[in-house]
Amino acid sequence: MSAATRGNENARIDPAALHPYLLFARRYAYCPQETTPGRSAYTNAVIIVEAGEGLLHLDDREYALKPGALVYIPAGGMHRWRADGADPMIHREAYFDWQPRRRPFAGEGEFFHYAAGSGEPVPAYMDEQPALRIEPVTAAADLGLWLSYHDRFLEAPGKRGGDAVGETIRWRGEFQVFLSRFLSAAYRDFASGGDPRIRELLRLVASRQELEERELLRYAAEAGLKRSRFYALFREETGLSPKHYMMLRKLQRIKCDLRQSDASITQIAEKYGYSSIHVLSKNFRKHIGVTPSEYRRQSRL
């Protein structure tokens, strides 16, 4: 797994702050037994299997796909496809960011990074994931309806002439409807399982800019959770330890400051309680894959 993917795999942004942004959509028909090389994308993808069969290898898991399969591939998710020899797949694809992001890409092919290629993905170009549990593969209850939604934004604005601004607004509006429908099918709600005390703690975390691990432990104790039980439930809910979860939240705020503010790296280190710019840079590079100054430069290209 690349440094960029490691830095992105557990990134979490508040769902209330999401502004999904469609980049491009397309229909792709595979040849019999066609196999794609391993690749990851800088952006996210929702894919409908319109027809045919095949396999998806995603992050060390393999899924057998048939018509009506709905697939979510997060940015940075290493994956490859293999089409059936007798009945190859036809895909409907939509590539999007959860939040608008600037990248110096001119063509659709530049949004992909191939495992066999040279170099590493650029972390600043990788979209970050929301704090949502989205199933990688689900099934469409009504495939025809899903395809009709995808038809509405399959043709990019400007190809038919007319009001380009109005077409763009309609195009992205149609995608919002599609994505909402997809999430209603693929989103696994925290409320459907897990411990309500952990969900309450996560709501507390989301409402606070700064919260230390020791404060989480105090709230857990007040909720009647012993330390070992709290750690086990927290990891079950989030996939992370409380310390790692809080550290990644802090790094997300630092990344936002690096992209959007003109504060110096030293000022940002002081703001977030780092003893020196060296300590911040070392921690940032370990988890994001580049130094703060490199991340700022890449995000402003």
pLDDT for the residue 4 = 40
Contact between 72 and 131 under an 8 Å Cβ cutoff? The reply is no
Token digits of residue 243: 């310390």
Distance CA(156)–CA(168), nearest Å, equals 8
DSSP code at position 173:
H
pLDDT for the residue 74 = 94
Cα→Cα distances 40→5, 201, 202, Å: 9, 33, 30
The helix or strand, by DSSP H or E, that contains position 294, with its residue range, turns out to be helix 292-299
Residue where the block lists tokens 């949502």? 132
Cα→Cα distances 184→50, 176, 269, Å: 19, 12, 40
Contact between 74 and 58 under an 8 Å Cβ cutoff? The reply is no
Give per-10-residue mean pLDDT for the chain (301 aa).
41 73 93 93 96 92 94 94 95 94 88 84 87 86 88 76 76 88 77 68 70 80 86 78 80 82 91 91 82 82 60
pLDDT for the residue 161 = 59
pLDDT for the residue 301 = 60
Return the amino acid letter for 71. V
pLDDT for the residue 95 = 96
Distance CA(245)–CA(205), nearest Å, equals 10
Contact between 57 and 107 under an 8 Å Cβ cutoff? The reply is no
Is the pTM for the entire model greater than 0.85?
A: no
Contact between 122 and 59 under an 8 Å Cβ cutoff? The reply is no
pLDDT for the residue 257 = 85
The CB density around residue 241, as the number of other CB atoms within 10 Å, is 13
- DSSP per-residue letters across 4-46: HHHHHTT--B-GGG---EEEEEEEEEPPTT-BPPPEEESSEEE
The helix or strand, by DSSP H or E, that contains position 166, with its residue range, turns out to be helix 164-186
